[in-house]
Structure 1
């Protein structure tokens, strides 16, 4: 089980987390399916389908946020509301007013909601207390915010901060492309995006295409900067770095083959082995990436 994306947050290094205490805190916001009158339900679920909301492997912690949302398109609500409004007009001899239409729409929604189909999605969270990382497997900052808000609602002991580095990812990626050289330990791959800061936001994208250094330098000279760049770290993990420090499209390379001999037919043991491998590799990747971006910004400056 590997994360496909990373929204990265910082925790104090060597943070001591009591797993049983955290499990009890998360239980206050445990997931339950939508009731017939609810449009959405959200809460913590067991990562391994047992009674534990925190799954630990060594000192690494794994959480799972589950969200269920009813599929009730506004077009359906509006269609039924319109039909009911026509019936009401025929009965009373005049069209319902604005307030009556609002009340009618609310009643239609309540009527249709129990029959709406619920769709579940899961968002995985990895906490590395030893190195001070909290990672969320999502490409969307909005979904990451949902995780953080619910987590802080359960416990106030996690002093979370956004990861701040001395060199902006956009400036760093632009420099790497301009010099056609990635920082030590990294290789530039074949996907990138350059965008201008002019009003038209002119954008050039390379998708699975060899990046021509001369062509790229012309775009940079014209004022475009790199907003996305595909990289490979130590021939072990490929990913896309964005201007917001979001890491997308994570793909382990030969390291899964290297780990084959250690695998087991036991599903729980295999899950733990994958999690241990992922956490070790991604921690190493983040350390090198932060170094390549000039190191972390001191807290006083970041504030």
Structure 2
């Protein structure tokens, strides 16, 4: 039901006065189009909804999508074809092609096969909350999120986006919540966690869908391990995993939210309803997580 599964978090000034119309105009110069016959990869902004614009807006919340197309041409295939061509050349001219000739041959084979290569399409969604000052990329890795941010910075001159910074260390706070068996107000600690040593050994222990025995966890912490991942539930509505880098992973709406979903008549209404519900609840959850970590760090 939730459109986003992983949250890479960034901050914007709140409120941010950039309008959806301004955003639409800014993104048009980098609108997505399929990779050409001689291109390995191409990315650009695509429509979040069929027959819509590049910016989808619901209740002042903006949704944009970075589309990417990448052609698959394994080096083993290129090498295999080049090897066969080299054998033909050797038979025709009486000697094998040299190192430079072989390199040129592989490049020619690559260029020849590229137009027929299979293309893989992927989309990365980005939610912009100009009211509360959030920019959230649905990506499991920071590298994937960086692609979106770099494209946005190209599209919008001097876009005031920053990484989320908080007063207290996520690792320190998660370790404290485990050690004291005391989750912050509005949250509960669930059954997944990772504890990792800070020394050279990098020793780690992970509990997966496992009750966290206080004495056992306490021994690991006493031995110098700190919590780097912690599964939690917010307000009995959303479960997630908080990481040491402030990424929020495995976001899942719980039954209490699903039961309150309104019946809708068509796909567009259902999509907008899901997006409005998700952004409304996540904005409140992100505010509570920030508060639990001591609030925003001073600039």
Q: Same fold (TM over 0.5)?
A: yes
Cα deviation digits, residues 280-299 of structure 1 (max 9, x gap): 10001100000111111000
In 2, Cα distance between the equivalents of 1:255 and 1:78?
A: 55
Question: Retained in 1: the 8 A contact 2:191–2:207?
Answer: yes
1:240 aligns with 2:241: yes
RMSD in angstroms over aligned alpha carbons? Answer: 1.3
Matches for 1:186-205 after TM superposition, within 5 Å:
186-205=187-206
Q: CA deviation at 1:99?
A: 2.1
In 1, Cα distance between the equivalents of 2:84 and 2:173?
A: 58
Cα deviation digits, residues 236-284 of structure 1 (max 9, x gap): 0000011000000000012433423x23122111111111110010001
The aligned residue for residue 154 of structure 1 is 155
Give 5+ residue unaligned stretches, structure 2. Answer: none
The SS at the match of 2:80 is helix
The SS at the match of 1:270 is helix
In 1, Cα distance between the equivalents of 2:224 and 2:142?
A: 27
The aligned residue for residue 68 of structure 1 is 69
Q: CA deviation at 1:94?
A: 2.8
Q: CA deviation at 1:51?
A: 4.2
In 2, Cα distance between the equivalents of 1:231 and 1:67?
A: 32
The SS at the match of 2:62 is strand
Q: CA deviation at 1:97?
A: 2.5
Question: Retained in 1: the 8 A contact 2:40–2:71?
Answer: yes
Question: Retained in 2: the 8 A contact 1:13–1:132?
Answer: yes
The aligned residue for residue 219 of structure 1 is 220
In 1, Cα distance between the equivalents of 2:180 and 2:247?
A: 23
The aligned residue for residue 142 of structure 2 is 141
In 2, Cα distance between the equivalents of 1:78 and 1:208?
A: 46
Could you list the structure 1 runs, at least 4 aligned residues long, displaced by more than 6 angstroms after superposition. Answer: none
Larger displacement relative to structure 2 (77-86 or 48-57) = 77-86
The SS at the match of 1:165 is coil
1:32 aligns with 2:36: no
1:128 aligns with 2:146: no
Question: Retained in 2: the 8 A contact 1:170–1:243?
Answer: yes
Question: Retained in 2: the 8 A contact 1:11–1:159?
Answer: yes
Matches for 1:1-303 after TM superposition, within 5 Å:
1-260=2-261, 262-299=262-299
Q: CA deviation at 1:101?
A: 1.9
TM-score w.r.t. length of structure 1: 0.95
Q: CA deviation at 1:157?
A: 4.6
TM-score w.r.t. length of structure 2: 0.96
Cα deviation digits, residues 214-253 of structure 1 (max 9, x gap): 1111111111111111000010000001100000000001
Question: Retained in 2: the 8 A contact 1:169–1:243?
Answer: yes
In 2, Cα distance between the equivalents of 1:87 and 1:228?
A: 57
Question: Retained in 1: the 8 A contact 2:237–2:257?
Answer: no
| Pair 263,191 (structure 1): closer, same or farther in 2 beyond 3 Å | same
The SS at the match of 2:287 is helix
Question: Retained in 2: the 8 A contact 1:263–1:273?
Answer: no
| Pair 199,87 (structure 1): closer, same or farther in 2 beyond 3 Å | farther
In 1, Cα distance between the equivalents of 2:58 and 2:226?
A: 41
Larger displacement relative to structure 2 (124-133 or 19-28) = 19-28
Give 5+ residue unaligned stretches, structure 1. Answer: none
